Chain A
Amino acid sequence: MNLTWMAWTMPTAIFFLVIAALLILMTILAIRYPETPRVGVLRIETTRGDRLFISLLGSAFICLAWLAAFGAPLWGGLILCLVYAAAVFRWV
Protein backbone atom coordinates (compact mmCIF):
# COMPACT_ATOMS: atom_id res chain seq x y z
CA MET A 1 0.00 0.00 0.00
CA ASN A 2 1.34 3.39 -0.96
CA LEU A 3 1.11 5.75 1.96
CA THR A 4 3.37 8.51 0.71
CA TRP A 5 0.40 10.79 0.03
CA MET A 6 -0.13 10.94 3.78
CA ALA A 7 3.52 11.86 4.34
CA TRP A 8 4.00 9.34 7.13
CA THR A 9 7.04 9.52 9.37
CA MET A 10 8.20 7.01 11.96
CA PRO A 11 7.51 9.26 15.00
CA THR A 12 3.97 10.13 13.89
CA ALA A 13 3.30 6.48 13.05
CA ILE A 14 4.44 5.45 16.55
CA PHE A 15 2.27 8.21 18.03
CA PHE A 16 -0.87 6.95 16.29
CA LEU A 17 -0.03 3.29 16.93
CA VAL A 18 0.22 4.03 20.67
CA ILE A 19 -3.18 5.74 20.61
CA ALA A 20 -4.68 2.88 18.59
CA ALA A 21 -3.19 0.35 21.00
CA LEU A 22 -4.66 2.28 23.96
CA LEU A 23 -8.09 2.29 22.31
CA ILE A 24 -7.93 -1.44 21.62
CA LEU A 25 -6.79 -2.08 25.19
CA MET A 26 -9.69 -0.02 26.50
CA THR A 27 -12.11 -1.97 24.30
CA ILE A 28 -10.82 -5.30 25.59
CA LEU A 29 -10.96 -4.05 29.18
CA ALA A 30 -14.51 -2.82 28.69
CA ILE A 31 -15.58 -6.25 27.42
CA ARG A 32 -13.67 -8.31 29.99
CA TYR A 33 -14.20 -6.10 33.02
CA PRO A 34 -17.37 -4.00 32.71
CA GLU A 35 -17.30 -1.07 35.10
CA THR A 36 -19.53 1.52 36.72
CA PRO A 37 -18.85 5.22 36.27
CA ARG A 38 -17.46 6.91 39.36
CA VAL A 39 -17.34 10.49 40.62
CA GLY A 40 -13.86 11.86 41.25
CA VAL A 41 -12.23 15.17 42.16
CA LEU A 42 -13.79 16.92 39.16
CA ARG A 43 -17.20 15.91 40.62
CA ILE A 44 -18.29 14.48 37.28
CA GLU A 45 -19.03 10.88 36.44
CA THR A 46 -16.17 9.29 34.52
CA THR A 47 -15.49 5.88 33.06
CA ARG A 48 -12.10 4.54 32.02
CA GLY A 49 -12.70 5.88 28.51
CA ASP A 50 -13.45 9.37 29.84
CA ARG A 51 -10.31 9.27 31.92
CA LEU A 52 -8.26 8.24 28.89
CA PHE A 53 -9.74 11.13 26.94
CA ILE A 54 -9.00 13.60 29.74
CA SER A 55 -5.46 12.23 29.99
CA LEU A 56 -4.78 12.52 26.26
CA LEU A 57 -6.30 15.97 25.86
CA GLY A 58 -4.55 17.25 28.97
CA SER A 59 -1.27 15.70 27.81
CA ALA A 60 -1.51 17.58 24.53
CA PHE A 61 -1.76 20.86 26.43
CA ILE A 62 1.03 19.87 28.82
CA CYS A 63 3.31 19.18 25.84
CA LEU A 64 2.43 22.51 24.25
CA ALA A 65 3.10 24.31 27.53
CA TRP A 66 6.40 22.48 27.88
CA LEU A 67 7.31 23.46 24.32
CA ALA A 68 6.45 27.10 25.02
CA ALA A 69 8.40 27.15 28.27
CA PHE A 70 11.45 24.95 27.65
CA GLY A 71 11.40 24.10 23.93
CA ALA A 72 12.30 20.74 22.35
CA PRO A 73 13.03 17.95 23.26
CA LEU A 74 9.77 16.94 24.91
CA TRP A 75 11.03 14.14 27.18
CA GLY A 76 10.46 16.14 30.35
CA GLY A 77 6.98 17.03 29.16
CA LEU A 78 6.29 13.40 28.35
CA ILE A 79 7.20 12.33 31.90
CA LEU A 80 4.93 15.06 33.20
CA CYS A 81 2.14 13.74 30.95
CA LEU A 82 2.55 10.20 32.33
CA VAL A 83 2.38 11.53 35.90
CA TYR A 84 -0.69 13.54 34.96
CA ALA A 85 -2.33 10.52 33.29
CA ALA A 86 -1.65 8.37 36.34
CA ALA A 87 -3.21 11.05 38.56
CA VAL A 88 -6.23 11.29 36.28
CA PHE A 89 -6.76 7.50 36.38
CA ARG A 90 -6.33 7.47 40.15
CA TRP A 91 -8.38 10.47 41.26
CA VAL A 92 -10.64 11.83 38.51
Chain B
Amino acid sequence: MDKPVNNKAWFLVLPVLVLVAFSAVIPLMTVVNYSVQDTFGNNVFFWAGLEWFEQALSSSRLHDALLRQILFSVIILAIQVPLGIFVALNMPKRGFWASLCLVLMALPLLIPWNVVGTIWQIFGRVDIGLLGYTLDKLGINYNYTANAIDAWVTVIVMDVWHWTSLVALLCYAGLQSIPDAYYQAAKIDQASRWKVFRYIELPKMQGVLLIAILLRFMDSFMIYTEPFVVTGGGPGNATTFLSIDLVKMAIGQFDLGPAAAFSIMYFLVIMLISWVFYTVMTNLDKREEMQ
Protein backbone atom coordinates (compact mmCIF):
# COMPACT_ATOMS: atom_id res chain seq x y z
CA MET B 1 0.00 0.00 0.00
CA ASP B 2 1.35 3.42 -0.97
CA LYS B 3 1.86 6.10 1.62
CA PRO B 4 -0.49 9.07 1.28
CA VAL B 5 1.22 11.87 -0.59
CA ASN B 6 1.92 14.95 1.47
CA ASN B 7 0.67 17.76 -0.73
CA LYS B 8 1.62 20.59 1.58
CA ALA B 9 4.68 21.38 -0.54
CA TRP B 10 2.27 22.72 -3.12
CA PHE B 11 1.84 25.80 -0.96
CA LEU B 12 5.41 26.71 -1.92
CA VAL B 13 4.29 27.34 -5.49
CA LEU B 14 1.76 29.94 -4.40
CA PRO B 15 3.89 32.89 -5.66
CA VAL B 16 3.93 31.34 -9.13
CA LEU B 17 0.19 30.86 -8.88
CA VAL B 18 -0.26 34.55 -8.18
CA LEU B 19 1.85 35.45 -11.21
CA VAL B 20 -0.05 33.04 -13.46
CA ALA B 21 -3.33 34.36 -12.10
CA PHE B 22 -2.26 37.86 -13.07
CA SER B 23 -1.00 36.99 -16.53
CA ALA B 24 -3.33 34.18 -17.58
CA VAL B 25 -6.25 33.35 -15.31
CA ILE B 26 -7.67 36.85 -14.93
CA PRO B 27 -7.47 37.63 -18.67
CA LEU B 28 -9.11 34.26 -19.29
CA MET B 29 -11.91 35.18 -16.90
CA THR B 30 -12.42 38.38 -18.91
CA VAL B 31 -12.72 36.28 -22.05
CA VAL B 32 -15.39 34.18 -20.36
CA ASN B 33 -17.23 37.36 -19.39
CA TYR B 34 -17.05 38.67 -22.95
CA SER B 35 -18.32 35.39 -24.35
CA VAL B 36 -21.80 35.83 -22.85
CA GLN B 37 -22.17 39.48 -23.80
CA ASP B 38 -22.31 41.79 -26.77
CA THR B 39 -20.55 45.13 -27.06
CA PHE B 40 -20.43 48.04 -29.46
CA GLY B 41 -17.36 49.54 -27.81
CA ASN B 42 -16.97 52.08 -25.01
CA ASN B 43 -16.94 49.26 -22.46
CA VAL B 44 -20.73 48.99 -22.62
CA PHE B 45 -21.95 45.40 -22.58
CA PHE B 46 -25.29 43.73 -23.22
CA TRP B 47 -26.23 40.28 -22.00
CA ALA B 48 -26.31 37.76 -24.83
CA GLY B 49 -26.43 34.49 -22.90
CA LEU B 50 -25.23 31.45 -24.79
CA GLU B 51 -26.04 32.90 -28.19
CA TRP B 52 -22.40 33.17 -29.34
CA PHE B 53 -21.68 29.60 -28.37
CA GLU B 54 -24.69 28.35 -30.31
CA GLN B 55 -23.69 30.50 -33.24
CA ALA B 56 -20.11 29.24 -33.16
CA LEU B 57 -21.19 25.61 -32.87
CA SER B 58 -23.35 25.85 -35.97
CA SER B 59 -21.09 28.17 -37.96
CA SER B 60 -19.85 26.56 -41.15
CA ARG B 61 -17.04 29.12 -41.26
CA LEU B 62 -15.64 27.78 -37.98
CA HIS B 63 -16.23 24.16 -38.95
CA ASP B 64 -14.24 24.72 -42.12
CA ALA B 65 -11.43 26.46 -40.21
CA LEU B 66 -11.35 23.60 -37.70
CA LEU B 67 -11.20 20.99 -40.46
CA ARG B 68 -8.40 22.88 -42.18
CA GLN B 69 -6.58 23.13 -38.86
CA ILE B 70 -6.86 19.41 -38.14
CA LEU B 71 -5.82 18.54 -41.68
CA PHE B 72 -2.80 20.84 -41.38
CA SER B 73 -1.71 19.37 -38.02
CA VAL B 74 -2.15 15.79 -39.26
CA ILE B 75 -0.20 16.43 -42.45
CA ILE B 76 2.73 18.16 -40.77
CA LEU B 77 2.90 15.48 -38.05
CA ALA B 78 2.79 12.74 -40.69
CA ILE B 79 5.73 14.37 -42.47
CA GLN B 80 7.80 15.78 -39.62
CA VAL B 81 7.81 12.81 -37.25
CA PRO B 82 9.05 10.13 -39.69
CA LEU B 83 11.39 12.63 -41.36
CA GLY B 84 12.75 13.76 -38.00
CA ILE B 85 13.40 10.16 -36.93
CA PHE B 86 15.03 9.42 -40.28
CA VAL B 87 17.32 12.45 -39.99
CA ALA B 88 18.22 11.61 -36.37
CA LEU B 89 19.10 8.02 -37.31
CA ASN B 90 21.41 9.20 -40.06
CA MET B 91 23.18 11.97 -38.19
CA PRO B 92 26.83 11.36 -37.25
CA LYS B 93 27.09 10.11 -33.68
CA ARG B 94 30.23 11.98 -32.57
CA GLY B 95 33.05 14.21 -33.72
CA PHE B 96 33.21 17.34 -35.85
CA TRP B 97 30.41 16.38 -38.22
CA ALA B 98 28.04 15.69 -35.35
CA SER B 99 28.59 19.22 -33.98
CA LEU B 100 28.23 20.75 -37.43
CA CYS B 101 24.98 18.84 -38.01
CA LEU B 102 23.60 19.96 -34.66
CA VAL B 103 24.34 23.61 -35.41
CA LEU B 104 22.86 23.38 -38.89
CA MET B 105 19.77 21.62 -37.56
CA ALA B 106 19.28 24.22 -34.85
CA LEU B 107 19.43 27.17 -37.25
CA PRO B 108 15.82 27.14 -38.52
CA LEU B 109 14.61 26.89 -34.91
CA LEU B 110 16.30 30.18 -34.07
CA ILE B 111 14.58 32.21 -36.78
CA PRO B 112 11.56 34.19 -35.59
CA TRP B 113 8.20 33.10 -37.00
CA ASN B 114 7.49 36.24 -38.99
CA VAL B 115 10.95 36.14 -40.54
CA VAL B 116 10.34 32.53 -41.61
CA GLY B 117 7.07 33.71 -43.14
CA THR B 118 8.80 36.54 -44.97
CA ILE B 119 11.59 34.27 -46.22
CA TRP B 120 9.09 31.86 -47.75
CA GLN B 121 6.85 34.61 -48.99
CA ILE B 122 9.73 35.95 -51.07
CA PHE B 123 11.22 32.51 -51.82
CA GLY B 124 7.95 31.41 -53.43
CA ARG B 125 7.37 34.48 -55.56
CA VAL B 126 7.57 33.87 -59.29
CA ASP B 127 9.14 37.24 -60.12
CA ILE B 128 11.93 37.52 -57.51
CA GLY B 129 11.87 34.30 -55.45
CA LEU B 130 14.29 31.45 -56.18
CA LEU B 131 11.71 28.69 -55.66
CA GLY B 132 8.91 30.37 -57.58
CA TYR B 133 11.22 31.42 -60.40
CA THR B 134 12.75 27.95 -60.75
CA LEU B 135 9.38 26.21 -60.74
CA ASP B 136 8.11 28.68 -63.30
CA LYS B 137 11.10 28.09 -65.57
CA LEU B 138 10.59 24.32 -65.23
CA GLY B 139 7.14 24.89 -66.68
CA ILE B 140 5.23 24.21 -63.45
CA ASN B 141 2.37 26.61 -62.94
CA TYR B 142 3.00 27.65 -59.36
CA ASN B 143 1.35 30.61 -57.67
CA TYR B 144 0.63 30.46 -53.97
CA THR B 145 -1.40 33.66 -53.99
CA ALA B 146 -3.96 32.36 -56.47
CA ASN B 147 -3.98 28.56 -56.19
CA ALA B 148 -5.19 26.94 -52.97
CA ILE B 149 -3.13 23.75 -53.42
CA ASP B 150 0.03 25.76 -54.07
CA ALA B 151 -0.68 27.83 -50.94
CA TRP B 152 -1.12 24.67 -48.85
CA VAL B 153 2.04 23.09 -50.22
CA THR B 154 3.99 26.27 -49.49
CA VAL B 155 2.71 26.55 -45.93
CA ILE B 156 3.33 22.87 -45.20
CA VAL B 157 6.82 22.81 -46.73
CA MET B 158 7.62 25.97 -44.77
CA ASP B 159 6.51 24.37 -41.52
CA VAL B 160 8.45 21.21 -42.29
CA TRP B 161 11.52 23.30 -43.02
CA HIS B 162 11.08 25.27 -39.82
CA TRP B 163 10.27 22.52 -37.35
CA THR B 164 11.50 19.12 -38.50
CA SER B 165 14.83 19.89 -36.84
CA LEU B 166 13.10 20.05 -33.48
CA VAL B 167 11.81 16.49 -33.89
CA ALA B 168 15.19 15.39 -35.22
CA LEU B 169 17.14 16.98 -32.35
CA LEU B 170 14.86 15.46 -29.72
CA CYS B 171 15.11 12.01 -31.34
CA TYR B 172 18.88 12.44 -31.65
CA ALA B 173 19.08 13.10 -27.91
CA GLY B 174 16.96 10.00 -27.29
CA LEU B 175 19.20 7.90 -29.53
CA GLN B 176 22.40 9.17 -27.87
CA SER B 177 21.14 7.93 -24.51
CA ILE B 178 20.99 4.29 -25.64
CA PRO B 179 23.96 2.39 -24.16
CA ASP B 180 26.21 0.50 -26.60
CA ALA B 181 25.43 -2.77 -24.84
CA TYR B 182 22.00 -2.87 -26.50
CA TYR B 183 23.53 -2.68 -29.97
CA GLN B 184 26.16 -5.27 -29.07
CA ALA B 185 23.46 -7.65 -27.85
CA ALA B 186 21.54 -7.06 -31.08
CA LYS B 187 24.69 -7.83 -33.09
CA ILE B 188 25.22 -11.10 -31.22
CA ASP B 189 21.64 -12.04 -32.01
CA GLN B 190 22.22 -11.03 -35.64
CA ALA B 191 19.27 -8.66 -35.56
CA SER B 192 18.49 -6.89 -38.82
CA ARG B 193 18.64 -3.09 -39.11
CA TRP B 194 14.86 -2.92 -39.01
CA LYS B 195 14.68 -5.06 -35.86
CA VAL B 196 17.30 -2.88 -34.13
CA PHE B 197 15.16 0.12 -34.96
CA ARG B 198 11.87 -1.51 -34.00
CA TYR B 199 12.94 -3.16 -30.73
CA ILE B 200 15.78 -0.97 -29.45
CA GLU B 201 15.76 2.51 -30.92
CA LEU B 202 12.04 3.14 -31.21
CA PRO B 203 11.13 2.06 -27.63
CA LYS B 204 14.04 4.10 -26.26
CA MET B 205 12.90 7.13 -28.23
CA GLN B 206 9.29 6.76 -27.12
CA GLY B 207 9.48 9.39 -24.36
CA VAL B 208 11.16 12.12 -26.38
CA LEU B 209 9.04 11.24 -29.40
CA LEU B 210 5.88 11.83 -27.42
CA ILE B 211 7.18 15.20 -26.27
CA ALA B 212 8.10 16.03 -29.87
CA ILE B 213 4.64 15.06 -31.11
CA LEU B 214 2.97 17.03 -28.32
CA LEU B 215 5.05 20.13 -29.02
CA ARG B 216 4.57 19.92 -32.76
CA PHE B 217 0.86 19.27 -32.40
CA MET B 218 0.28 22.20 -30.06
CA ASP B 219 2.40 24.56 -32.15
CA SER B 220 0.77 23.57 -35.42
CA PHE B 221 -2.70 23.71 -33.89
CA MET B 222 -2.07 27.27 -32.78
CA ILE B 223 -0.10 28.37 -35.85
CA TYR B 224 -0.69 31.96 -36.80
CA THR B 225 2.27 34.07 -37.87
CA GLU B 226 3.80 32.05 -40.69
CA PRO B 227 0.69 31.37 -42.80
CA PHE B 228 -0.52 34.87 -41.99
CA VAL B 229 2.66 36.40 -43.41
CA VAL B 230 2.85 34.08 -46.43
CA THR B 231 -0.76 33.81 -47.56
CA GLY B 232 -2.76 36.01 -45.18
CA GLY B 233 -5.22 33.13 -44.94
CA GLY B 234 -5.86 33.07 -48.67
CA PRO B 235 -6.45 32.50 -51.47
CA GLY B 236 -10.04 33.01 -50.40
CA ASN B 237 -10.14 31.18 -47.10
CA ALA B 238 -7.97 28.27 -48.20
CA THR B 239 -5.30 28.65 -45.52
CA THR B 240 -7.40 30.40 -42.87
CA PHE B 241 -6.58 28.32 -39.81
CA LEU B 242 -8.32 28.66 -36.48
CA SER B 243 -6.15 31.38 -34.98
CA ILE B 244 -6.15 33.43 -38.19
CA ASP B 245 -9.94 33.25 -38.21
CA LEU B 246 -10.04 34.13 -34.53
CA VAL B 247 -7.91 37.23 -34.99
CA LYS B 248 -10.00 38.27 -38.00
CA MET B 249 -13.10 37.95 -35.85
CA ALA B 250 -11.79 39.65 -32.72
CA ILE B 251 -9.64 42.43 -34.12
CA GLY B 252 -10.75 42.73 -37.74
CA GLN B 253 -14.49 42.72 -37.13
CA PHE B 254 -14.28 43.62 -33.45
CA ASP B 255 -16.84 40.90 -32.65
CA LEU B 256 -15.58 40.42 -29.10
CA GLY B 257 -18.46 38.20 -27.95
CA PRO B 258 -18.35 35.61 -30.75
CA ALA B 259 -14.55 35.67 -30.76
CA ALA B 260 -14.49 35.06 -26.99
CA ALA B 261 -16.93 32.13 -27.28
CA PHE B 262 -14.83 30.73 -30.08
CA SER B 263 -11.56 31.10 -28.20
CA ILE B 264 -12.99 29.33 -25.17
CA MET B 265 -13.88 26.33 -27.31
CA TYR B 266 -10.47 26.48 -28.97
CA PHE B 267 -8.87 26.56 -25.51
CA LEU B 268 -10.96 23.58 -24.34
CA VAL B 269 -9.88 21.47 -27.32
CA ILE B 270 -6.22 22.32 -26.72
CA MET B 271 -6.57 21.61 -23.01
CA LEU B 272 -8.16 18.21 -23.68
CA ILE B 273 -5.44 17.17 -26.08
CA SER B 274 -2.67 18.42 -23.79
CA TRP B 275 -4.19 16.53 -20.89
CA VAL B 276 -4.36 13.31 -22.90
CA PHE B 277 -0.71 13.69 -23.95
CA TYR B 278 0.39 14.59 -20.44
CA THR B 279 -1.43 11.60 -18.95
CA VAL B 280 0.01 9.22 -21.52
CA MET B 281 3.51 10.57 -20.93
CA THR B 282 3.43 10.44 -17.14
CA ASN B 283 1.98 6.93 -17.23
CA LEU B 284 4.71 5.79 -19.60
CA ASP B 285 7.30 7.17 -17.19
CA LYS B 286 5.71 5.37 -14.28
CA ARG B 287 5.57 2.10 -16.21
CA GLU B 288 9.25 2.46 -17.09
CA GLU B 289 10.13 3.10 -13.45
CA MET B 290 8.26 -0.03 -12.40
CA GLN B 291 10.09 -2.21 -14.93
Interface residues of A (CB under 8 A from B): 4-9, 11-12, 15-16, 30-31, 34-37, 44-45, 47, 53, 57, 60-61, 64, 67-68, 71-72, 74
Asked if B268 and A60 sit within 8 Å, CB to CB, the answer is yes
Q: Which B1-59 residues sit within 8 Å CB-CB of chain A?
A: 1-8, 26, 29-30, 32-34, 36-37, 39, 43, 45, 47, 49-51, 53-54, 57-58
State A60–B270 Cα separation when bound (angstroms).
13
Q: Are A6 and B26 in contact (CB under 8 A)?
A: yes
Q: Taking the complex as formed, is B275 at the interface, i.e. its CB lies under 8 A from any CB of chain A?
A: yes
How many chain B residues touch the partner (CB < 8 A)? 35
Q: How far is the CB of B97 from chain A (nearest CB, A)?
A: 43
30 cross-chain CB contacts under 8 A = A5-B30, A5-B43, A6-B26, A6-B30, A6-B33, A7-B33, A7-B37, A7-B39, A9-B33, A16-B32, A34-B4, A34-B6, A36-B1, A36-B5, A45-B286, A53-B275, A57-B271, A57-B272, A57-B275, A60-B268, A61-B268, A61-B272, A64-B53, A64-B265, A67-B53, A67-B57, A68-B57, A72-B51, A72-B54, A74-B50
Give A92 to B7 CA distance when docked, in angstroms.
Answer: 21
- Determine how close the nearest CB of chain B comes to the CB of A85; give it in whole angstroms: 16
Which residues on the A side are within 8 Å of B57 (C-beta)? 64, 67-68
Asked if B141 is an interface residue, CB under 8 A from chain A, the answer is no
Whether the pair A44, B279 counts as a contact (CB closer than 8 A) is yes
- Please indicate the chain B residues that have their CB under 8 angstroms from the CB of A71 in the complex: 54
Residues of B within 8 A of A31 (CB): 7-8
B272 and A44 contact, CB distance less than 8 A: no
Which A residues are CB-close (under 8 A) to B37?
Answer: 7, 9
Beta-carbon nearest neighbor of B268 in chain A: A60
B283 in the interface (beta carbon within 8 A): yes
Pair B54/A67 contact, Cβ less than 8 Å: yes
Q: A31-B8, A57-B275, A64-B265 are in contact. Are A15 and B43 (CB under 8 A)?
A: no
CB of B191, distance to nearest CB on chain A (Å): 32
Q: Report the nearest A residue to B265, measured CB to CB.
A: A64
| B29, A16: Cβ atoms closer than 8 Å | yes
In the bound assembly, the distance between CA atoms of A5 and B32 in angstroms comes to 13
Contact A34 B268 (CB under 8 A): no
Q: Which of A5, A7, A12, A45 is most buried by chain B, counting CB atoms within 10 A of its CB?
A: A7
Annotate B252-291 by CB proximity to A: 1 below 8 A, 0 otherwise. Answer: 0000000000000100100110010001000100100000
Q: 1/0 per position for B149-171, CB-CB distance to A under 8 A?
A: 00000000000000000000000
Closest chain A residue to B51 by CB distance?
Answer: A72
- Beyond the given A12-B29, A68-B58, please list 4 additional residue pairs across the A-B interface where CB-CB is below 8 A: A9-B47, A36-B2, A47-B5, A61-B268
In the assembled complex, the Cα of A34 lies from the Cα of B5 at a distance in Å of: 7
Cβ contact within 8 Å between B45 and A7: yes
Q: Given the known A-B contacts A57-B272, A67-B54, A74-B50, are A12 and B43 also in contact in the complex, defined by CB atoms under 8 Å?
A: no
A36/B4 in contact, CB under 8 A: yes
Q: Which residues of B contact A45 (CB under 8 A)?
A: 283, 286
Contacts of B53 in A (CB 8 A): 64, 67
Complex Cα gap A6–B53 (Å)? 19
**Nearest chain A residue, comparing its CB with the CB of B3:** A36
Alpha-carbon gap, A9 to B32, bound state (A): 10
